């Protein structure tokens, strides 16, 4: 099995050669201003180096402020933001990226994702992201909430394989087909909502927490890691942000990894990428 030295050192090498940390702080629903700034500063102090935001989260300015004020050199941080649905299309995506970049106050964004596969638009949006990467404004480009058929479309159009696909991924939605497709094409899978919106009262997860002397959240995040999936649990509380990073110094048995996988119910807490309207 792959050895993971810690949450804040190293990480998987993406298909474009960039390195992305295994653990990041998600800031969905973190309020613009003091709440998001303080959450990021707390995370950086603990050791986090990856921050995941989006135009649709309406807190990019706060993320940018925290990046400037956190006391860690910019080059040590990995900042992700995303193209919102209303801004999709080629020219509109380029404009939206500039808005995000200015709000963040960054010369270069580490990872830019298409947030959702908007029908009739995501293919042109992907071409815009390919352009931004060629221009050196984005180091890595990827997508979020894309199914295999969406991924195949954009790869066929451009020949450029997304570096990352960020999707809902947790014990009740194990995404086997998508994970297999990602591995076949060297696309790094990243889990949003890894902790199932806090619905961790699953008996097996509770039993394993007792068995390993860990929190239920740490069991789930360790399960992500052992499958090679990046994870970005969201919290604005310093003690929870710290707790969420404590899954690198133990290992789940192969049997327990499989038992968690068998919890799958194809249950989504978020929208279905093939059936959404926003």
SS (H, E, C) the chain: CCCCCCCCCCCCECCCCCECCCECEECCCCCCCHHHHHHHHHHHHHCCCEEECCHHHCCHHHHHHHHHHCCCCHHHCEEEEEECHHHCCHHHHHHHHHHHHHHHCCCCEEEEEECCCCCCCHHHHHHHHHHHHHCCCEEEEEEECCCHHHHHHHHHHHCCCCCEEEEECECCECCHHHHHHHHHCCCEEEEECCCHHHCCCCHHHHHHHHHHCCCHHHHHHHHHHHCCCEECCECCCHHHHHHHCCCCCCCCCHHHHHHHHCCCCCCCCCCECCECCC
* Residues 115/56, Cβ–Cβ less than 8 Å: yes
Which residue carries 């710290």 as its tokens?
242
Q: Which of 57, 90, 112, 212 is catalytic?
A: 57
In 3D space, the residue among 192, 184, 186, 187 whose CA is nearest the CA of residue 273 turns out to be 192
Residues 6+ apart with CB under 8 A from 76: 49
The yes-or-no answer on residue 57 being catalytic is yes
Catalytic residues: 57
């Amino acid at each position: 099995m792959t050895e993971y030295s810690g949450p804040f050192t190293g990480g998987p090498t993406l298909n474009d050669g960039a390195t992305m940390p295994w653990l990041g702080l998600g800031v969905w629903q973190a309020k613009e201003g003091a709440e998001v700034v303080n959450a990021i500063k707390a995370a950086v102090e603990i050791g986090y180096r990856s921050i995941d935001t989006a135009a649709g989260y309406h807190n990019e300015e706060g993320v940018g402020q925290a990046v400037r004020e956190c006391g860690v050199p910019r080059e040590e941080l990995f900042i992700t933001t995303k193209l919102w649905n209303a801004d999709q299309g080629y020219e509109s995506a380029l404009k939206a990226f500039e808005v995000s970049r200015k709000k963040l106050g960054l010369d270069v964004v580490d990872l830019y994702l298409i947030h959702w596969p908007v029908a009739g638009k995501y293919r042109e949006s992907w071409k815009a992201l390919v352009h931004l990467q060629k221009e050196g404004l984005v180091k890595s480009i990827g997508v979020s909430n894309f199914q295999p058929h969406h991924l195949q479309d954009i790869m066929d159009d451009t020949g450029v394989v997304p570096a990352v696909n960020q999707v809902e991924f947790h014990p009740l939605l194990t995404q086997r087909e998508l994970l297999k497709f990602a591995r076949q094409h060297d696309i790094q899978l990243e889990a949003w909502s890894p902790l199932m919106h806090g619905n961790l009262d699953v008996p097996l997860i509770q039993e394993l927490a007792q068995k390993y002397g860990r929190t239920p959240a740490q069991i789930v995040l360790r399960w992500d890691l052992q499958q090679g999936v990046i994870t970005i649990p969201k919290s604005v509380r310093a003690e929870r942000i710290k707790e969420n990073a404590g899954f690198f110094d133990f290992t789940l048995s192969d049997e327990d990894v499989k038992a968690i996988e068998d919890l799958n119910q194809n249950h989504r807490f978020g929208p279905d990428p093939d059936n959404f309207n926003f």
